[in-house]
Structure 1
Amino acid sequence: MATFIVERNIPGASQLTPEQLRDIARTSNEVVDGLGVAYTWQHSYVAGDKIYCVHETDDADTVREHARRGGFPADLVTPVATTFGPATADS
């Protein structure tokens, strides 16, 4: 599976309540269960008017289908080329 970063423009995203985030997560999980393909939502970051999600699946079209079924925007779906962090400096 490939990893994708999904950028969702949602005005006021950082003001969403824990209950609203829970409802979004429940909807996302239900859609994932109904896709019928390998799909993992890793986690999401809320920052300002955006939510950035990390998803794993075979292709970007499946990420867009998840968004369509869930009623979520998917303004940008970008495949992750690689990851690195502080320990990369030690290799």
Structure 2
Amino acid sequence: MPKYVVERELEDAGNLSRDELQAISQKSCEVLEKLGPQIQWVQSFVTKDKIYCIYIAPNEQMIKKHADLGELPVNAISEVMQVIDPVTAE
């Protein structure tokens, strides 16, 4: 199944409290439960003004549906074509 990187612009994301991040995570998980097992949230990276989320989903439309139902911003969705890491250099 395809893997996606979702970019979400969220002003001052890096300064969100633990409680605020927990609330965002809980909302996301509630929506994922409603959508079923065809979409999975792998993890997210919080930066100064953005959150980058990794999802496994059958298509981009499923990612958009998750965002709409969860009232989450989506600024870009990119399908992961390949993954590299330090082992790739060997």
Please state which band the TM-score falls in when normalised by the shorter chain.
Answer: over 0.9
Instruction: Report the number of matched residues.
Output: 90
1:36 to partner: Cα distance: 3.2
Q: Report the equivalent of 1:10.
A: 10
1:8 to partner: Cα distance: 0.2
Q: Report the equivalent of 1:30.
A: 30
Identity of aligned residues (%): 32
1:37 to partner: Cα distance: 4.9
With structure 2 as the length reference, what TM-score do the two structures score?
0.97
The runs of 5 or more residues in structure 1 that have no matched partner are none
With structure 1 as the length reference, what TM-score do the two structures score?
0.96
Q: Report the equivalent of 1:42.
A: 42
- Runs of 4 or more above 4 Å deviation: none
Q: Structure 1 stretch 35-44 or stretch 45-54: which is displaced more?
A: 35-44
Separation in structure 2 between the aligned mates of residue 27 and residue 81 of structure 1, nearest angstrom: 28
